[in-house]
Structures are given as structure tokens and as C-alpha cells.
Chains A and B, each alone.
Chain A
Amino acid sequence: MLSYDTRVLVVMVVFSLVIFYMSKTKWKQVGAVFNMIMIFLLLNIIAVFIFSPYQGVKIYGSRTDLFHIIGPYTMTAEQLFYEGNMILKYFTIIPAALMFFVTTDPSEFAASLNKVGIHYNIGYAIAIALRYIPDVQGDFTKIKHAQEARGIEMSGKASLISRIKNVAAIIFPLIFSSMSRIDTISNAMELRGFGKHKKRTWYYARPLKRNDYLTIGVVVIFAIIGLFITFHNGSRFYNPF
């Protein structure tokens, strides 16, 4: 999370992509999200350049002008390198995050969280969240369609105040149905004796196998190497200039 060292980042991106390939995640599952991430990333790096075209110069302590753009904006090699590192940093996480989402079962995840020592209340809350995201999204779409059928304008044509009003027309039913959903679920859980004991067992719990220990080991070694390099350099940045 901390390192901006290009060499560390490159190794991590490569690892990340290899794991992603091995997970056999289909492009169809993640394509739409990936495109959104790319747009967001693009906007962000442009914003960084507009607000601070010499951040790279400041960080690397030297200045190599490449070409002049307009007014106070000059493209420097340091800035390019800095923003390139930012993009790399994104790419270390994106494949792992996408993979996590398409391959993790909420119930198994809750069981595992509890296993590593997190209280089962928290584990269960996360499991409920993951389990109900599609439901809430479905509710939202249903209410939206119903309100549109009644003639509420959802597009950008309406003014700001009426747009807030229109969103409220969806949010209100959604919140109230969610509040009663909270009651229903908590009553059901109470009836089944949730929270009575300090510990609970999990239907989906899995014992750690050899490969799991190997993974943990590799991650720890990786983290130590990353930290070592950071402290050895005395800086989070790799400076080629």
C-alpha cells in the first residue's frame, strides 16, 4: 500500500496478472467494471497533472523538460514517471480486487473472517452485506421503474431541485422497505438464537490446507521484502534521475 518503488510495483503487477490468469476469471464477468475503472483512472491522472504539473519534479528533485504545452504547463520526464507509477499502483490491485469479487462466496468469507479471529458479529454483518447487495439493487430498480411509470422524470432534463426530489421518490420507499427488512431479518436471527453463545460453528468453514499456508507464507515474505526495500532506499520512490 505504501511503496511507490517502480521495481516493486512492476513485480507486483506481473504477479497480480499471473494470478488473475490462473483464476480463470472470465472477461464477461469483469469487463464492464474494468472499463469504469479505466475511465476513473484516466480522469484522476489528468486531474493530477492539471492541479500539480510539477509534483514529479518535487518528488524526484530534478527537472528534465520534454516539451512545453501551454502557459505554466510543461511536460517533464519526472511527471511522466510519477504518473506512470500511479497507474502501475492501480494495476497491482485491480486484478486482485476483481478476482476477489467474482470468486468469493459470502458465507465462506464470513466463516473465514471468524476463523482469523474477527468476532462473528462483524463477519456476519459483512456476509449479510454481500448477500443483500443484489437484493437492494433489485429493489432499487423495481421502485425506479414503478416511479417512472407514474411519470417521474429521471433523466438530466429536470432541474437540480426536482432531480433531488425525484431521487427522494425512490430513496424513501427503498429506505422504508429496508428498515422493515432489518426488522424481519433480525427477528428471524433472534428466533434461531443468534448471538447466544460466545462462539459459533460455520457450515461453510474450511480447514486451512497446505496451499493456504503456502499462500500466507508467500504474502508475508513479499511484505517483508517490500518493506525492506522501502527502508533500504530511505524513500518510497525509486529515483532513476
Chain B
Amino acid sequence: MKKKFGIKEVVAIGIGTALFVALTEVQIPIGIPNTYLQPRMAVFAFLAAVFGPIVGGVVGLLGHALGDLVFYGSVWWSWVIPEAVIGLGIGLIAKKLAIKEGGFDKKAIITFNVVQVLANAVAWILVAPALDILIYVEPANKVFIQGAYAALGNILIIGILGTLLAAGYAKIGAKSSSLSKED
């Protein structure tokens, strides 16, 4: 992976954001009112894990903001910023995971999931409620319960679908060590 912010990163942000926004509509109800599993989170975590922290952060920011704008008409900033936090967090380990190079093994799967759980916890149980209270002056117990549910749902969907996506993509990606020397 190149260090520089190249053309591929620009396009990845664009298409990633488009994916994120398009998938905003796709939600799986899990029985708790107003809480859904959001497949877009899995896609988003996958993109961050492939393209790194900048792409992850910006896709989270832009994707959530545009998605809010398209489907709800107003941007809920206190939930947009945590999204960027998750993208950044997961993106930071992109190099280690080496998904594109086909290196998504058991150890990487565990790292990926530990980091995503941490990132989700920080984003939805710390950052989101704090901003909700600061910007929108919403009642504290409401936002913390909302945040906890969001964290739970996102951890679930990223853990299942996100891991599968990364593993699947790593499988079709060329392994850097897939060539063997002939005798």
C-alpha cells in the first residue's frame, strides 16, 4: 500500500461513500424497537480495513452526513463524528491486516474484531452521547441507551458480515507469496 494519498484513495472515498449512502436503506430489524443491524457498517469497516485510516475516516464522515441528508433531510452531526472515529480506528490497522495482499488469517481476524469492538465502544458509548448532549441538549439517559444499542448492533454486524467480507476478499486477492519456486 502506498503511503501517499493517491488516486486510488480518492476514488475509494468516492465509491465507498456512495456504497455507504446507498446501503443506508438496507436494515435488518433485530426485535428491539428502533434498533437495526446496518449492513452498511460492515461494508464501511471492510473499506477502512482495506484502504486505511484516511479513507475510513472520510467515508464515515461523508457517508453518514450524505446518508442523513438523503434519507432524513438533516445531518445528525453528533452521530456523524463517531462514524469517522470508527473509520479511523479500524483504518489504523489496515497495514497489519494486509487484506489486499491476501493476508487475512486467524490472527488478523482476531485483531480486526478486537479493534472494531473497541472503536465501536468508544464511538457510540463515549463520543456520540457526549456530542448529543453538547449539541442537541438531549436527555442523558436516552442518548446513552441509544448509544449502547447502536454499539451492540454495529459490533454484531461488523463481527459477522465484516469479517466474512474481509476474509472473502482476501481469498480472491493475490497472495504475495502465492508463487512457489520451481526446482
Instruction: For residue A158, give the distance in angstroms from its CB to the closest CB of chain B.
Output: 10
In the complex, 17 of the A-B residue pairs with CB atoms within 8 angstroms, ordered by the A residue number, are A34-B73, A51-B139, A97-B69, A101-B69, A122-B58, A125-B11, A125-B17, A131-B18, A132-B18, A133-B21, A136-B19, A156-B29, A164-B160, A167-B161, A168-B161, A182-B12, A194-B7
Instruction: Other than A135-B18, A171-B43, A172-B165, give 16 A-B pairs with Cβ distance below 8 A.
Output: A36-B71, A48-B142, A51-B145, A55-B139, A128-B15, A129-B21, A129-B63, A132-B15, A156-B29, A160-B28, A164-B157, A171-B165, A175-B165, A190-B7, A194-B10, A195-B7
- Cβ of A163 within 8 Å of any chain B Cβ, yes or no, is yes
- Chain A binding surface SS class: helix
Interface residue ranges, A against B (CB under 8 Å): 1-2, 4, 33-34, 36-37, 40, 43, 47-48, 50-52, 55, 59, 86, 90, 93-94, 97-98, 100-101, 121-122, 124-133, 135-137, 140, 156, 160, 163-164, 167-168, 170-172, 174-176, 178-179, 181-183, 185-186, 189-190, 194-195, 236
Known: A33-B73, A94-B74, A164-B28. A186 touches B8 (CB 8 A): yes
Query: What A residues does B141 contact at CB under 8 A?
Result: 51-52
Instruction: For residue B75, give the distance in angstroms from its CB to the closest CB of chain A.
Output: 7
Known: A43-B34, A125-B10, A172-B168. A93 touches B74 (CB 8 A): yes
Query: What A residues does B63 contact at CB under 8 A?
Result: 129
Q: Which of B19, B69, B71, B165 gathers most chain A CB within 10 Å?
A: B19
Residue pairs across A and B with CB atoms within 8 Å: the count is: 166
A164 and B42 CA atoms in complex are apart in Å by 11
Q: Which of B10, B16, B66, B77 gathers most chain A CB within 10 Å?
A: B10
> Which chain A residue lies CB-closest to B51?
A182
Query: What A residues does B138 contact at CB under 8 A?
Result: 48, 55
Query: What B residues does A40 contact at CB under 8 A?
Result: 72
- Cβ of B1 within 8 Å of any chain A Cβ, yes or no, is no
A164 and B164 CA atoms in complex are apart in Å by 11
> Which chain A residue lies CB-closest to B13?
A125
Asked whether, in the complex, the Cβ of B15 is within 8 Å of the Cβ of A182, the reply is: yes
